[in-house]
Amino acid sequence: MNILIKSAKIIDSQSPFHLKTQDVLIEKGIVTTIASTIKNTNNIKEVKLENLHISSGWFDSSVSFGEPGFEERETIENGLKVAAKSGFTAVAMNPNTYPVLDNKSAVEFLINKANGNIVNLYPIANLTQQAKGLDLAELYDMYNSGAIAFGDYNKSINNANLMKLALLYAQNFDGLVISFPQNNSLSNNGLANEGETSTKLGLKGNPAIAEELQIARDLFLLEYTGGKLHIPTITTEKSVKLIADAKKKGLNVTCSVSAHHLFLTDIELEEFDTNYKVSPPLRTKKDINALKKGIINGTIDMITSDHNPIDIENKKIEFKNALDGTIGLESFFGAVNKLLPLEKTIECITNAPRKRFNLKNETITIGKTANLTLFNPELEYEFNKENIVSTSKNSAFLGKKLKGKVYGIFANNKLTIN
Amino acid sequence: MKALSTDHLLGIKYLKKEDINLIFETADHFKEVINRPIKKVPSLRDITIANLFFENSTRTKLSFELAEKRLSADIINFSAGQSSVKKGETLIDTVNNILSMKVDIVVMRHPNVGAGVFLSKHVNARIINAGDGAHEHPTQALLDSYSIREKLGSVKGKKIVIIGDILHSRVALSNIFALQLQGAKVKICGPTTLIPKFITSLGVEVETNLKKALEWCDVANVLRVQHERMDIKYFPSIREYTQLFGIDKALLDSLGKKIVIMHPGPINRGVEITSDVADSDQSIILNQVENGVAIRMAVIYLLAQQIKK
């Protein structure tokens, strides 16, 4: 399709037009002209929006939809609609499904299901058979079918030898291993960050050391095996330090942090609101400060929504029985943009994660395929239920003041404007 | 007439000092009532109370039931063993079903932390928390403070040590909040494995030496070890627990002063305290039980007054 985007500020560190306000002409899905003013001679569709910014299309490295198995939480179709509305032109989908995503046909099912959508869906496949943490799944077969990385979502691999084998084996095809940072014997079914709040509320604590010990273990293993490791959703001050040290040593490790772990602390749990029950648990202000610093100095590579839709039946129950997770796509930009410099935020959801997950590099340049996110970073609003298109409404951001609104995306030669 | 600042009794941390004073003054009155030949007042003839016990209880359940009967309330009882909870019904549905039979107050014990708070947000009744996981057991803490006040004249400025399994104890947590609110000094004592790492953030001190703790205090509130809440052995054996944290008469007599001994029950005689300590004149364990009825009458009465308004 052909569109003319009028006076958009381009945020794209890879583009020669970075930080310039330009008109962008897209013809048949290709950026054909970028100039300070482009005349609309052929009467093509114009996109003219207040304080319009564009960047290359955003990529979220950790989202869950319910399909297959939990369609009542979210379908792929609606999930991708939510992603598009939230500014993401690509998402990596977690193997948080039933049946699990431990074989080639399951991977192909997802890819076929998302085929033709404006948003690209990239499956993360299970690392172990049945996600049981006992034996490796057929990683290479799934890699060939389109799986971009391998991990058991928020189930950690208890067996150090198995993690060692995974890191070694994945090197045969340059695969990326994901290891959820939690030592289960120390987390011990804890319900909240072990700290002042959990003590006051009598909630069983999940201590920071449960995360840090697992990260330390995995980094030791990585040093021994070589290979590529990604650690998703780190949450503690010491975790940041462990990864910074590992990077200094030259280990091939990356990590992410979720928007809710940047935006919220465990103090939110005071009313036992299950929307704040997430895994890993919400931590403290001190941790948030360290995480922000880690993003700024490059220790933390990417930011994710860790979008995890949970149906009301599994949330409107007693805190202990409620499932972990918050939806996060729709509040993502407004939350993160409030906390970090715009260019850094964009870097953490475009080039950095795309590079790590080996996706096609996207940049706003003449002659390239247009893959764009359109947004206004200044608009402030309160996030509430009316903002949620996601089937499940379990948001930890309800009632929060956010800054930055997404207008829409252009990808796969399609435009969607909210 | 004075009223409570809250609509429910979910925990001590949701109360103000004035609320505690009001409850105590009201309990003074009811204590006098239950020592009359006719131990009953007609105050709550128009109130229906459901006692929902999703977790085993003997003394708390009996105490509440008696308090309700002494106030002439209509009561219905329910325990999880015989219920539809096991058939998969949610807590909200279970309680709403009971409420649709026109119940005004729910007294609930539940194994899950925050169950009372959760219920208060989703059902239309006054909730009294009779213990929710390791969170709070407010009426126990109120009767404990009330018993200290009765024995020593006031709670303010007194030194209280809470001994035992702090990690799994809602009684400890509620007591800490209640005692601090009234200006007492609180220490906790027990095996380091059973003391929450961040307990000092609540403003209490930790003393791991039992003798030192007892020498410091005016009152020792001794808790039971909650084996049923443990997924791993937090100490090697009961024998060893008793060696380190058991209170016997010899230890008590060696202190050079007469401290008050409390225990919320049930007592494991010979484990945390020996029989001669439990039955000594320093022990106010049975007074606690008696005061429990008066305190629960006061709480129920005060919440019922708010319904009538």
The per-residue pLDDT for range B201-210, each reduced to its tens digit, is 999 999 999 9
Contacts of A189 in chain B (CB under 8 A): 231
| pLDDT, tens only, B116-164 | 999 999 999 999 999 999 999 999 999 999 999 999 999 999 999 999 9
| Same domain flag for A145 and A241 | yes
Let me know if residue B1 belongs to a domain.
no
What's B5's DSSP letter?
A: S
| Same domain flag for A30 and A48 | yes
Please report the pLDDT score of residue A2 as a whole number.
95
Mutate to test the interface with A, among B188, B198, B199 (most CBs of A within 10 A): B198
| Same domain flag for A7 and A22 | yes
Q: How far apart are CA B226 and CA A395, in angstroms?
A: 36
| Same domain flag for A115 and A44 | no
Let me know if residue B19 belongs to a domain.
yes
| Helix, strand, coil tally for chain A in percent (to 5) | 35, 25, 40
| pLDDT, tens only, A271-280 | 999 999 999 9
Mean pLDDT along residues B247-252: 97
* Cα nearest neighbour of A274 on chain B: B118
| Same domain flag for B128 and B191 | no
CA A342 to chain centroid, in Å, comes to 17
What confidence tier does B187 reach under pLDDT thresholds 50, 70, 90?
very high
- Given a cut of 80, whether residue B85 has pLDDT beyond it is no
| pLDDT, tens only, B250-285 | 999 999 999 999 999 999 999 999 999 999 999 999
Q: Note down the domain range covering A143.
A: 59-356
Q: Note down the domain range covering B72.
A: 12-136+289-308
Considering only the beta carbons, identify the residue of A271, A316, A320 that sits closest to B113. A320
Mean pLDDT along residues A363-384: 97
| Same domain flag for A157 and A280 | yes
Domain count, chain B: 2
In the block, residue with structure tokens 């106010």: B284
What's A264's DSSP letter?
A: -
Count residue pairs from A and B with Cβ separation < 8 A.
73
Q: What are the φ/ψ torsions at residue A239 (nearest 5 degrees)? A: -60, -40
* Cα nearest neighbour of B114 on chain A: A272
In the block, residue with structure tokens 């979220």: A60
Has B94 been labeled as part of a binding site? no
* Cα nearest neighbour of A273 on chain B: B118
Tokens of B154: 């006031």
| Same domain flag for B181 and B50 | no
| pLDDT, tens only, B290-308 | 999 999 999 999 999 988 7
In the block, residue with structure tokens 């939990």: A70
| Same domain flag for A141 and A272 | yes
Q: What percent of chain A has pLDDT over 90?
A: 99
Is residue A102 flagged as an active site residue?
no
Mean pLDDT along residues A295-320: 97
Are residues B134 and A202, on separate chains, in Cβ contact within 8 Å?
yes
Please report the pLDDT score of residue A47 as a whole number.
97
Tokens of A323: 């499932």
User: Is pTM beyond 0.90 here?
Assistant: yes
Domain count, chain A: 2
Considering only the beta carbons, identify the residue of B110, B136, B202 that sits closest to A199. B202
Q: How far apart are CA A321 and CA B111, in angstroms?
A: 11
Collect all residues with Cβ–Cβ distance below 8 Å to B228 and sequence separation of at least 6: none
Tokens of B19: 């609320």
Residues 160-199 of A with CB under 8 A from B: 188-189, 191, 194-196, 198-199
Please report the pLDDT score of residue A200 as a whole number.
97
Question: Looking at the complex, does the CB of residue B110 fall below 8 Å from at least one CB of chain A?
Answer: yes
Please report the pLDDT score of residue A122 as a whole number.
98
- Given a cut of 70, whether residue B82 has pLDDT beyond it is no
What confidence tier does A299 reach under pLDDT thresholds 50, 70, 90?
very high
- Given a cut of 80, whether residue B1 has pLDDT beyond it is no
Mean pLDDT along residues B63-69: 97
| Same domain flag for A241 and A389 | no
Contact (Cβ atoms closer than 8 angstroms) between residue A274 and residue A316:
yes
Q: What are the φ/ψ torsions at residue A378 (nearest 5 degrees)? A: -100, -20
Last residue of a domain, one of A323, A338, A356: A356
Residues 220-239 of B with CB under 8 A from A: 231
| Same domain flag for A238 and A271 | yes
- Given a cut of 80, whether residue B65 has pLDDT beyond it is yes
Are residues B114 and A199, on separate chains, in Cβ contact within 8 Å?
no
SS3 B246: coil
SS3 B204: coil
Which residue among A60, A102, A287, A306 is the active-site one? A306
Q: How many CB atoms lie within 10 A of CB B306?
A: 13
Q: How far apart are CA A131 and CA A108, in angstroms?
A: 18
Q: Is the previous residue joined to A68 through a cis bond, with omega within 30 degrees of 0?
A: yes
Q: Is the previous residue joined to B138 through a cis bond, with omega within 30 degrees of 0?
A: no
What CATH number does residue A381 fall under? 2.30.40.10
Q: How far apart are CA A84 and CA A58, in angstroms?
A: 10
Q: How far apart are CA B209 and CA B260, in angstroms?
A: 18
For B81-167, strand residue ranges (E) read 105-110, 126-132, 159-163
Please report the pLDDT score of residue B81 as a whole number.
62
Closest to B161 (Cα-Cα) out of B179, B140, B134, B146: B179
Collect all residues with Cβ–Cβ distance below 8 Å to A59 and sequence separation of at least 6: A88, A89, A90, A91, A92, A349, A350, A353, A354, A357, A359
SS3 A244: helix
What CATH number does residue B149 fall under? 3.40.50.1370
Are residues A202 and B173, on separate chains, in Cβ contact within 8 Å?
yes
| Same domain flag for B296 and B264 | no
Angle at A195 between CA A190 and CA A199, to 5 degrees: 75
What's A127's DSSP letter?
A: S
Collect all residues with Cβ–Cβ distance below 8 Å to A330 and sequence separation of at least 6: A82, A85, A86, A383, A387, A388, A389, A390, A395
Please report the pLDDT score of residue B56 as a whole number.
86
What confidence tier does B98 reach under pLDDT thresholds 50, 70, 90?
confident
Q: How far apart are CA B40 and CA A31, in angstroms?
A: 86
Strand partners, B222: B163
SS3 A371: coil
Are residues A202 and B133, on separate chains, in Cβ contact within 8 Å?
yes
Considering only the beta carbons, identify the residue of A272, A313, A317 that sits closest to B117. A272
- Given a cut of 70, whether residue B83 has pLDDT beyond it is no
| Same domain flag for A320 and A277 | yes
| Same domain flag for B263 and B146 | yes
Q: How far apart are CA A28 and CA A30, in angstroms?
A: 6
Closest to A234 (Cα-Cα) out of A226, A224, A220, A244: A244
For A211-336, strand residue ranges (E) read 228-231, 253-258, 302-304
Q: Which amino acid is at B305?
A: Q
Considering only the beta carbons, identify the residue of B121, B122, B135 that sits closest to A201. B135
| Same domain flag for A400 and A336 | no
| Same domain flag for A46 and A86 | no
Please report the pLDDT score of residue B94 as a whole number.
87
Let me know if residue B7 belongs to a domain.
no
Are residues B118 and A319, on separate chains, in Cβ contact within 8 Å?
yes
| Same domain flag for B191 and B58 | no
